[in-house]
Amino acid sequence: MDNISFKHQSLKLPVKELSGTLLFNHSDIALSNVQGFYGSSDLLLNGLFKNLFANVLFDNEPLGIEANLKSEFIDLNELLKNADSSDTEAYLFMLSP
């Protein structure tokens, strides 16, 4: 990949300037030096997403992630802010079960 940017309704912020190498093996995907921005936060990902395509396409399919994430700048105000809140309201923070 080289300099890919996109928005999706399931993402709160746009993904910008995504570059790196993806390796596909059946339902798994390996990421090598995938770097870019999620909103104003930078990221660098290396690792393996196991069963990714089955997880995306079918309900109740497990997803395994073995990856390293590195960032020089993470904007927590931007990442944790509820889209419908003002700057004075509490953050929304949820983890998937």
pLDDT in tens, 42-85: 999 999 999 988 888 899 999 999 999 999 999 988 888 766 55
Q: Say if residue 17's pLDDT is above 90.
A: yes
Give me the residue spans of the domains in the chain: 4-80
Global pTM reads: 0.76
> Tokens 């889209």 label which residue?
83
Q: Distance between CA atoms of 76 and 40, rounded to whole angstroms?
A: 10
Q: What's the half-sphere exposure (Cβ side, CA atoms, 13 Å) at 57? A: 5
> Tokens 């746009």 label which residue?
14
Select the more confidently predicted residue: 84 or 22.
Answer: 22
Q: What is the mean pLDDT of residues 8-14?
A: 90
Sign of CA dihedral 51, 12, 77, 89: negative
Q: Distance between CA atoms of 17 and 19, rounded to whole angstroms?
A: 6
pLDDT of residue 10: 85
